[in-house]
Amino acid sequence: MSRIFRTLDGWVFRWVQPVGTSLTAFFSIFLSFNLEKVASKHPEWSGAFALLQGFNLYSIIVVCALAALVGTAYNFVRQRSVKRLHKEVRDLRDQLGAVVQNIPETLGVVLRGVGDQLPLNQTGGQRISLYVHKPSQNVFIPCGRFSYSPNLKRKGRTSFSDSKGCIGRAWEEDWHFMDNMPDPTSLSGYTDYMAKNYQMSREATRRLNMKPRMFAAKRIMIDADAIGVLVVESLYCEQFVEEELRQILEETTQPLARLLHGFLPHIADPNDPRRVGL
C-alpha cells in the first residue's frame, strides 16, 4: 500500500495541479467562441468542433479547476510536511551530535563505577581506560578514561598499535597482567624494558603520558567478536592482587561490551577528519 502511495505521490499528485491549471486555461478559451459559427466557416474542422460541442465546457472547466485546487492544496501541505521533516532531521542530527560528543564523558562515568569496585586510590596514581579497536587501521582509539588524578585523566595519544605494548599483548592473549615494572625515573631502563618486552620504540615510550609500574588489561568481546580492551594502570607496584583484579574486570567487560557495541558506530576517529566532531 505504501508503495502505491509513493508512486502516486511521485507522479500523479505532483502533476494534478499543473495539468488541472493548464486544462482549465485551455478550455476557458473556447467559452469566448461561437463554435457553430466558427464550424460553418471552417468545414474542414467540423469533426473537431463537433467533438467540442458534445462536451459541457462549463462542467469540464469546473472539474479541472477543482483538480488544480486540490493539487495546489496537496502540494502546499506536502511542502510544509517536507520542511517539517527536514527540521526534525536537523534537530535529531544535532541531538545525535551532542550524544556523540558526550560519549567519552558517559564512558568515563561508567569507568568510575568500575574504579569504585577495584577500588582506585583517591589520592591518584591509578587510572582505568577503555580502548575501542579499529580493524581497518589496526589501532586502538581511546574512548573513555577515569582517574582521580587530573594529569592522568587528561588526553594523550590518539591511537595505539594493536600489535605493540601492553594493550597489544592483552588483545592477543585476552588477559595481561604485569606488576613490578621498572621505575620510570630511570628513563633509559624503562624504555629498554618496554622495547624488549612489548616491542615499543623508545621514542613512543618517552611520549607516554603515564608510565605505569603495574598494568592489567582485559579484552572486550561481544559474542565472538573482539571490539576493545579495558585497561587498569598504576604508578605503584603491588596495588592489586591479579586474581581479584581479573575477576572484577571479567565481570565488568560483559555489560560494558553491550554498551560499547552500541556506541561503536558513533565513536569519532581522531585520525579520520570526516568522523571528528560528528
CA distance 172 to 72: 65
Closest Cα to residue 118, out of 16, 265, 241, 227?
241
Given this model, what pLDDT does residue 115 score? 87
Q: What are the tens digits of pLDDT across the range 102-126? A: 677 778 888 888 888 888 888 789 9
Low-confidence ranges of the chain (pLDDT < 70): 1-89, 91-102, 268-278
Given this model, what pLDDT does residue 70 score? 66
Given this model, what pLDDT does residue 276 score? 39
Specify whether the CB–CB gap between 102 and 269 falls below 8 A.
no
Given this model, what pLDDT does residue 62 score? 58
Given this model, what pLDDT does residue 189 score? 94
Q: Give the 3-state secondary structure of residue 249.
A: helix
Following DSSP, what letter does each residue of 106-141 receive, concatenated? Answer: HHHHHHHHHHHHTTPPTTSSEEEEEEEEETTTTEEE
Given this model, what pLDDT does residue 226 score? 93
Q: What are the tens digits of pLDDT across the range 126-157? A: 999 999 999 888 999 998 999 999 889 888 78
